[in-house]
Amino acid sequence: MPMRAAMRLLALPVIAAALSVGAPAQAAGFSCRETPIVRSNATLAPLSTKVAQGQSLAILAIGSSSTEGVGASAKDRTYPARLQALLTKAWPKSRIEIVNAGIGGETAPQTLARLKAALTARSYDLVIWQVGTNDAVTGGDLEAFKTMVADGVAMVREAGPALAILDPQYFPSIRDPQRYGAYVEAVSEVARREAVPVFARYAAMREWHRTDAEAFKAALWTDGFHMSDAGYDCLARDMANAMVGMAVPSRPVVASSR
């Protein structure tokens, strides 16, 4: 078994214990259950040393309404706020700061401009870029969208932080599933090419819906589109589990003597 994979397996009990503090969000029969949300071979290696040494971590969460938290009952119920709380429990030696830079209604070009300004204004250890939902809903040039995502990846890399992408949410009333799915796949395609981890929110939420369509309604806000407190909490828990696993420090392989 590869060393990194072994380290992740050893870390799983610690991860579960750290993230189990506090009851999972529940609403009208919907309860959070762990859903694999990121490719198993993805890493956030740049965070490993800081986490191991208990250093502070500054994280920028940028995107549109589901980053801002439309549908949440309070600011501390948004996914960035819940993620900060969960990572603080998982990494108690580190001070975790997640800056919520979400603005509802934005498409990729608008967020890209703000991302550039944010990276100029201060330094971050990690950027979580939520992208594609409004572009998928409104449509447009798919190739231009892919180019914008690639430009954003290059921009973050040039600035220095690690990067993870959060793809569009799933909701049952998608008007044009084929077009919407094409944007989800476009995000995945660019990320694979650029070796960037993706939090596959679309696939995770679709699995929640497939498992129990009636209970899933409570994961969404009253508009049937944005996420509810329960949905944001469950998303944050899946993301936190993935991040803790991806930030397990690699260990040097010691050759055995014979």
Q: Are 102 and 65 in contact (CB under 8 A)?
A: yes
DSSP state of 227: B
Alpha carbon separation from 66 to 54, 98, 149, 159, 173 (Å, rounded): 30, 15, 18, 25, 17
Q: Tokens for 160, please give them.
A: 């220095």
CATH number of 3-15+46-246: 3.40.50.1110
The three-class DSSP label of residue 101 is: strand
pLDDT in tens, the chain (258 residues): 443 443 343 343 444 444 444 444 555 567 777 777 886 567 788 888 899 999 999 999 999 999 999 999 999 999 999 999 999 999 999 999 999 999 998 888 899 999 999 999 999 999 999 998 888 888 888 999 999 999 999 999 999 999 999 999 999 999 899 999 999 999 999 999 999 999 999 999 999 999 999 999 999 999 999 999 999 999 999 999 999 988 876 544 344 333
Tell me the whole-structure pTM to 2 decimals: 0.85
Exposed e or buried b for every residue in 172-190, given b needs 16+ CB within 10 A?
eebeeeeebeebbebbbeb
Domain ranges for the chain, please list them.
Answer: 3-15+46-246
Find, among 196, 99, 188, the residue nearest to 154 by Cα: 196
